[in-house]
Structure 1
Amino acid sequence: MIISSYFLSILFCIFFLLVDTTDGNQIIVVNNCNESIWPGILGGAGQPTPKDGGFHLSSGEEVVLDVPEKWSGRIWARQNCCFDENGKGSCDTGDCEGQLHCQGRGGEPPATVVEMTLGTSTSPLHFYDVSLVDGFNLPVSMKPVGGGIGCGVASCEVDLNICCPSALEVRVGGKVVGCKSACLAMQSAKYCCTGQYSNPKTCKPTLFANLFKAICPKAYSYAFDDSSSLNKCRASRYVIIFCPPT
């Protein structure tokens, strides 16, 4: 039987769609906000940091990050940044010590943080979440591309700055640009889940954590908010959208 080259090409394409030939994962970062953002990236201990830890992303623009298997780290957005030709400057929120390329530096809170561990030495599963433990600056979501078995959406899709309690507000030029976590604002063990409150039995959600949870039920509202906020999945590509459509 003679098989046409056209039919062979179709079989070839189907084979590569069904078989994952990559050794790592892809993270697609999308800026759906009306203004530019400057994503910051921090790799976990011993992990590489893509893009030197920071870059500019115009409104409507996206970038694809290739990360190795078992990569872990966090990604957040910085707002209203201004950098000189040497990559030095400042941002209204999420700033990493005045550097465009964070290179191992974390973002200054408040900032909405996407956290992930894409497999471990004992588990092939990927774990990811959106955390408000460091406060909030922009809405964000993370989900697998094309879906997956048991996969969920981690998100805080609402602008918490609009309903941020006055005690937690961060203002620049009269505008609320961020909402502090209760830990950052109150600086007490009860709100920070430290000291005698450093375990799930003693650290309970506070009034502020319950407010965050009511508005963003798919995000971490305090340190031990695992049951409803941590997602498990196994996919090769994920998309992180800042200012996701609601």
Structure 2
Amino acid sequence: MFLSLSSTNGKGHQLIIVNNCNESIWPGILGGAGQQTPKDGGILLNSGQEVVVDVPEKWSGRIWGRQKCKFNANGKGSCATGDCSGLFHCQGLSGKPPATVVEMTLGTSTSPLHFYDVSLVDGFNLPVSMKPVGGGVGCGIASCEVDLNMCCPSALEVRVKGKVVGCKSACLAMQSAKYCCTGKYSNPNLQANNLCSSV
């Protein structure tokens, strides 16, 4: 999945979401606290398709890809990864891990500083890349373009019909303070190395 960001002359921003995968994906969208959720939080993109999503200035939120979804005519069903309570339109709900997430907080025409990243805190399901259109020297590409499902440790795998479709975070899979960086493990200077934090 590929996202690009462009400004629209003080009226907001456009997010262009492109499906570069070989299969259909259902991007989920969630506005941050107090923010609108465009497209009712869900869309379908077949392979090679793209959609333009308009968001206002100062918008913050997250976008993630859902895969292997089946929905009925009422928009109810399920997705193998990134599912949002079985709904086509996530309508203010976040996706169930594992899911590769693009997070962003956008600026304004007078203060055009944008913050964006690709997060694997919720695990991994699809390669993702995001770049600004027409950005300056300091505007880089945020991405995880490698299919981490190919090298996911077996203890973290999510499989559908024998195929790895997602890779859980160690925290989600192990449910342990050691892997969730909580409790005595919350200080990175004191945390002992473990296999998953070193990968």
TM-score above 0.5: yes
Q: Tell whether 2:74 aligns with 1:86.
A: yes
Q: Which residue of 2 aligns with 1:75?
A: 63
Residue deviations 1:194-217 (CA, integer Å, cap 9, x gap):
223335444577422332xxxxxx
Greater RCO, CA 8 A, separation 6+: 1
Alpha-carbon distance in 2 for matches of 1:50, 1:85: 21
Q: Which residue of 1 aligns with 2:196?
A: 208
Alpha-carbon distance in 1 for matches of 2:59, 2:193: 30
Q: Which residue of 1 aligns with 2:83?
A: 95
Identity %: 79
Corresponding pairs, count: 191
Q: How far apart are residue 192 of structure 1 and its match?
A: 1.1
Structure 2 counterpart of 1:145, which letter? V
Secondary structure, in 3 states, of the residue corresponding to 1:87? coil
Alpha-carbon distance in 2 for matches of 1:68, 1:59: 28
Residue deviations 1:53-85 (CA, integer Å, cap 9, x gap):
001111100001111111100000000100001
Secondary structure, in 3 states, of the residue corresponding to 1:196? helix
Structure 1: state its 5+ residue gaps. Answer: 1-18, 212-246
Aligned mate of 2:20, from 23, 32, 45: 32
Q: Call closer, same or farther: CA 1:182–1:153 in 2, change over 3 Å.
A: same
Q: Which residue of 1 aligns with 2:115?
A: 127
Q: Which residue of 1 aligns with 2:4?
A: none
Structure 2 counterpart of 1:63, which letter? V
Q: Which residue of 1 aligns with 2:185?
A: 197
Q: Tell whether 2:154 aligns with 1:160.
A: no
Q: Which residue of 2 aligns with 1:6?
A: none
Alpha-carbon distance in 2 for matches of 1:204, 1:148: 39
Conserved in 1, the CA contact under 8 Å of 2:58 and 2:106? yes
Q: Call closer, same or farther: CA 1:20–1:160 in 2, change over 3 Å.
A: closer
Structure 1 counterpart of 2:150, which letter? I
Q: Which residue of 1 aligns with 2:3?
A: none
Structure 2: state its 5+ residue gaps. Answer: 1-6
TM-score by length of 2: 0.90
Q: Which residue of 1 aligns with 2:159?
A: 171
Alpha-carbon distance in 2 for matches of 1:94, 1:206: 27
